[in-house]
Structure 1
Amino acid sequence: MKVMEIIKLGEKLKYEMRHSWLSNGRQESVAEHTWRVSLMAMLLEPYLKQKVDASRLLKMIIIHDLVEADAGDIPAFDTMDNVKVKEQKALNEIKSIEKIRDTLGNSLGEELYHLWFEFENKETYEAKVANALDKLEAQIQHNEADIATWIDIEHRMSFMMDRYVAFDQNLQLFKDIIEEEAMEKLTAAGIDADRIKKEVLSSS
Structure 2
Amino acid sequence: MLEVLHLAEKLKMEMRHSWLSNGRRESVAEHTWRVSLMGMMIEPYLTEKIDSARMLKMIIIHDLVEAEATDIPAFDTMNDAELKKQKVINETKAIENLRNMLPAPLGEETYELWMEFENKATFEAKVANALDKLEAQIQHNEADISTWLEIEHKMTFMMSKHTDFNPVLTEFKDLIEAEGSAKLKEAGIDMTKK
TM-score computed with the length of structure 1 as normaliser: 0.94
User: Residue 183 of structure 1 corresponds to which residue in structure 2?
Assistant: 181
Cα drift, residue 141 of structure 1 = 0.1
Match of 2:167 among 166, 169, 172: 169
SS in 2 for 1:138: helix
Amino acid at match of 1:172: T
User: Residue 38 of structure 1 corresponds to which residue in structure 2?
Assistant: 36
User: Residue 20 of structure 1 corresponds to which residue in structure 2?
Assistant: 18
Distance across 1 between alignment mates of 2:112 and 2:39: 20
Provide structure 1 residue ranges, at least 5 long, that are not aligned to the other structure.
197-204
Distance across 1 between alignment mates of 2:133 and 2:31: 10
**Cα displacement string for residues 75-131 of structure 1 (whole angstroms, at most 9, x for unaligned residues):** 000000111000000000000000000011310100000000000101210010011
Match of 2:126 among 125, 128, 141: 128
Distance across 2 between alignment mates of 1:179 and 1:64: 24
Match of 2:27 among 22, 26, 29: 29
Amino acid at match of 1:9: L
Q: After TM superposition, what 4+ stretches of structure 1 lie above 2 angstroms from structure 2?
A: 193-196
SS in 2 for 1:66: coil
User: Residue 141 of structure 1 corresponds to which residue in structure 2?
Assistant: 139
**Cα displacement string for residues 155-200 of structure 1 (whole angstroms, at most 9, x for unaligned residues):** 000000001001100110000000000010000000003444xxxx
Distance across 2 between alignment mates of 1:183 and 1:194: 11
SS in 2 for 1:19: strand
Q: Aligned pair count?
A: 194
User: Residue 5 of structure 1 corresponds to which residue in structure 2?
Assistant: 3
- 1:95 and 2:85 are equivalent in the alignment: no
- 1:75 and 2:67 are equivalent in the alignment: no
Cα drift, residue 10 of structure 1 = 0.8
Distance across 2 between alignment mates of 1:143 and 1:193: 15
TM-score computed with the length of structure 2 as normaliser: 0.98
Among all aligned residue pairs of Structure 1 and Structure 2, give the percentage whose two residues are the same amino acid.
Answer: 65
Amino acid at match of 1:89: K
Structural RMSD (CA): 0.7
Distance across 2 between alignment mates of 1:194 and 1:165: 23
